Each structure stands twice: as C-alpha cells, then as structure tokens.
Amino acid sequence: MHERGAFAVQRRPPGSQIMESKKSWLRKDLDALRLQWDMLTFYERFEQLVAHVLSVVISIIILVSLWQLIRAVISLLVSDALNPLDHAVSKNFSRSKSTTHRYPDWM
C-alpha cells in the first residue's frame, strides 16, 4: 500500500529536482507574463514588444563584437605580434606609457 500510496518515495536522478524547479520558475514567469499581457493596453503591449526587440538587437551586437574581439586577440597571439611573455614587447609598452606628451615626428 505504501509503495504506491501517498507516502511513496520516488527515486529521481540527482539533478532532476533542480531542473524541475527551474522549469517551474520559468513556467511561473511565463504565466505571470501572460496574465499581465492580457491586462495591458495596446500601447503598453507595443512598448513591451519594442523593449524586447531592442534587448535582442543589443545582445546580438554585443555577441558579434565580442566574437570579433576574441578572433582578433587569438590571431595576434598566434602570429606572436602580441606575446605577453616577451620582455622586449612589455618593456616597450611600459616605456610608451611612461613618456610625456611628445609631438609627432612630422611637427
């Protein structure tokens, strides 16, 4: 009786409870969004839609920029143009930072 009754213990994989709580958290948020969406006016819905679209566009721009930066740094590291272990490179970099303002050679 107890094996299939109200007091039965269900054995689950270790991470399944966490996944269920995440699913229920997401489901609760989506349900709340649906309820709020029904109560919004047309203009408020338009504002929400524009805000979400802008968020997605900005996220895409950030991801593309980050990808390009990673590719540029990797290509510099592979070509040894920027070797952090080379003391001559780091010495020249520290000298260029410590110099005072000088005019360019053409002046």
Task: Give the number of other CB atoms < 10 A from CB of residue 94.
Answer: 9
Q: Which domain holds residue 73?
A: 18-98
Position 6 in a domain: no
How does the average pLDDT of the chain come out, rounded? 74
pLDDT at 81: 65
Position 78 in a domain: yes
Position 44 in a domain: yes
Position 28 in a domain: yes
Position 75 in a domain: yes
Domain count, the chain: 1
| Residues 79-105, mean pLDDT to the nearest whole number | 61
Position 92 in a domain: yes
43 has a pLDDT exceeding 60: yes
Which residue from 27, 31, 10, 29 is spatially nearest to 19, judged by alpha carbons?
27
Query: Residues 4-20: pLDDT tens digits?
Result: 555 555 566 555 566 56
Distances (CA, A) of 61 to 2, 56, 68: 57, 9, 11
Query: Residues 48-76: pLDDT tens digits?
Result: 889 989 999 999 999 999 999 999 888 87
Q: Calculate what percentage of the chain has a pLDDT beyond 70.
A: 52
pTM of the model: 0.48
CB-CB contact of 76 with 82 (8 Å)? yes
Listed in sequence order, the residues at least 6 apart from 37 whose beta carbon sits closer than 8 Å to its beta carbon are 45, 48
pLDDT at 24: 79
Position 72 in a domain: yes
Position 2 in a domain: no
d(CA 29, CA 16): 20
